[in-house]
Chain A
Amino acid sequence: MIDRVDHFRWMVLARVLDERLAALYRQDHIRGGSVFSGKGQEAYSAAAALSLRRWTAEKPGDYFAPLIRDSAGRLAFGEPIIDAVRTYCGKRTGPMRCRDGNVHRGNLSQGQLPMISHLGASIGVVDGLLMARRHLGTLGDSVGIASVGDGAMQAGAAHEGINVAAVERLPLILLVADNQVSYSTFSDRSYACRSLIDRAVGYGLGAHTCDGTDFDACRITVETAVAAARAGRGPQMVLATLLRLAGHGEHDDNSYIGPELRARFGDCLPLAEARLTGEGIATAAFWETAKQQVAEAVTQALAESGPDVASEDWTARSQRNLTEFRA
């Protein structure tokens, strides 16, 4: 069982980091592109990551394929804070070595997949990771989470990837965050079914839903879905309903989200905090610690070097010269 205070602490850390990254964007410290915030989705994303087994030096754990809004999940699954800052600020010390940036980062030796931009593309890759484990006899009760939004769910690649998981009965958890909007397009122009969870039946997935603004509900629901996948009950779909609380990226003022929509959805963080405080749990220290951790990471990262253009290795294959290559 995930510790709920621990859950809350990761949410706080992600919120503090995202806000600091947004500030770095305004201060022109970001190299290339924008900053993509997970604001409003911390409870759901962290719950997912905390349901997974982390990788250690001795033992591989589960797989997590995060997407744009998963800053909380990335952190909670083991991404060092500084890796996010390095990637956003264009430091050669970052996991992508300046070759890719912002949310397109990951670390396979920590089980976090570095997403490509193309939405829906990572689901089939998680299928392949799990199929290979089964093939190699290392699957055990490990699982993989593929995260998608309501927009990504409409991509053909998502459909193919989900269907393969179902046909192969893989321990995949499809983590869907319906945050009402994909970039600026509202759900009524993205899909026409009553709820995206209806698709679970169509594909043959286990179905789980939760209020994405309620951190307790997120945790219990995702844990249940992950446990079902671990127990061999095949792929599971989780759908959280919530609202994106930032622009698509920091370049976007989010003005198209009207007051009615804002009124319908709360913010998972103050909601969780109120609940914990009501139970007599002090939360102020979590914010202080998070701010300090993020400040330290930012100070260190900003002092580090950008790419070494002169010594960049412009080779896209691991095998440079194949004229002599034989099995």
Chain B
Amino acid sequence: MSPRQLTYMDAIRLALGDSLAADPRVFIYGQDIAGAFGGAFKATKGLAERFPGRVLNSPIAEDAMAAVAIGAALEGARPIIEFQFADFSSVAFNQIVNHAATYFWRTGRSVPAVFRLPGGGTPGGGPFHSQMPEAWLTHHPGLVVVAPSTVADAYFMLRDAVACPDPVVYIEHKGLYNHLKAEFDPPTTEHLGLGAAAVRRSGRDCTLISYSAMVHTCLEAADKLARDHHLDVEVIDLRCLRPLDTRTILESIARTSRVVMVTESWPFGGIAAEVLAVIATEAFQYLDAPPRRMCAEDTPIPYHPELYHAHHPDADRIVQTVLETVDF
């Protein structure tokens, strides 16, 4: 069979279907996901018909959705929870960080639940439909938090998340859903482990570190830097934010001696702050320039598309920051 063109959303839907088919313990619970509707973003379209009784609509009750996942996982099922938007997972914050995340430490019993969070900005989403929740979720010990950026990762990281014995927060980027396409044939595609970072582009002059949709913005910036400035920039996709693959990060810094970390999230206490702290502590001797971070503006996410674009890092501003870092 020749490789198929799949979108990032197709890959998520395929991974959900394959997980349901492969493991009778799996069920999916979330808002508006059953019936012909198939979810706000159609991730479960067709699955309720294919797997009767295993794709269940929930009330608007994010706390209870997460609680159900915890109980079901403890009883031996493999629940996948779909939050309609990552923003609404804040309502389930308590169950995720105080219940799911503490179980293994407290009792020795882990909670194999998957929480799917449609995160990230799309222009016009506004303050409550565009957030990235990783800063507050990764802060709590006990969770695995992943943020796939490619079609293949969207598939494999979801399959791996379902297999993982620990609670996994799977942050899928709404901006990539139907926009990112790739030829993808799961059986013939190699993939990294759930917790490994990927070097998406090798380079010697500077390292760009990112995850989720911003990886693509970094790759665009790296192309511009190569074309317009003859700079050879490495791009690392963290893939998994908790635990963090510090080895891949530090090996890259040892090669390039310069680093810019890019996220579409807020700067204060975020993943970029954490990664730069690791670099400053463990790779200080390799650095030829101060580590830099580029994040969203430190305000709620604006609604108007023009404000939205100005709020988020873009390739041109990344190019500028890399040039400053290289010229330091």
Contact = CB atoms under 8 A, between A and B. Distances in A.
A121 interface: yes
Nearest to B24: A136
Contact of B71 (A96, A126, A160): A126
Interface in A100-137: 100, 104, 106, 108, 114, 116-118, 121-133, 135-136
B144 A316 contact: no
A161 B200 CA distance: 44
B243 A322 contact: yes
Nearest to B191: A326
Please tell me the size bucket of the interface on A.
35 or more
A324 to B, nearest CB: 4
B64 A161 contact: yes
B106 A127 contact: no
B27 A326 contact: no
Given A128-B79, A161-B67, A326-B194, A108 B106 contact: no
A317 B75 contact: no
B159 A327 contact: yes
B194 A129 contact: no
Contacts of A327: 156, 159-160, 162-163
Contacts, number: 171
A130 B67 CA distance: 12
A277 to B, nearest CB: 42
Given A116-B98, A132-B72, A132-B75, A96 B106 contact: yes
Contacts of A135: 25, 27, 53-54, 72, 77
B95 interface: yes
B193 interface: yes
Which of A104, A126, A131, A315 gathers the greatest number of chain B CB atoms within 10 Å? Answer: A131
A122 B63 CA distance: 11
A72 to B, nearest CB: 23
Contacts of B141: 316-317
A319 B166 contact: yes
Which of A116, A125, A157, A326 gathers the greatest number of chain B CB atoms within 10 Å? Answer: A125
Contact of B61 (A164, A316, A322): A164
Interface string B48-90: 0000011000110111111111111111110100000000000
Contacts of A132: 71-77, 79
B104 interface: yes
Nearest to B67: A124
B102 interface: yes
Interface residues of B, number: 58
B195 interface: yes
B309 interface: no
A157 B67 CA distance: 9
Contacts of B101: 316
Contacts of B98: 116-118, 121
Interface in A119-169: 121-133, 135-136, 156-157, 160-161, 163-164, 167
B30 interface: no
B193 A323 contact: yes
A183 B144 CA distance: 36
Contacts of B107: 95-96, 106, 108, 114
Contact of A318 (B58, B64, B110, B194): B110
A99 B102 CA distance: 10
A124 B95 contact: yes
B304 interface: no
A123 B68 CA distance: 9
A302 B98 CA distance: 30
B39 interface: no
A319 B164 contact: yes
A9 to B, nearest CB: 29
A123 B71 CA distance: 10
A165 to B, nearest CB: 9
B142 interface: yes
A72 B70 CA distance: 26
Interface string A172-204: 000000000000000000000000000000000
Interface of B: 25, 27, 53-54, 58-59, 61-77, 79, 94-95, 98-99, 101-102, 104-107, 109-110, 141-144, 156, 159-160, 162-166, 191-196, 240, 243, 245, 247
Q: Top 5 closest A-B pairs, CB basis?
A: A128-B71, A124-B67, A322-B195, A132-B75, A160-B64
5 contacts: A96-B106, A108-B107, A131-B72, A132-B72, A132-B79
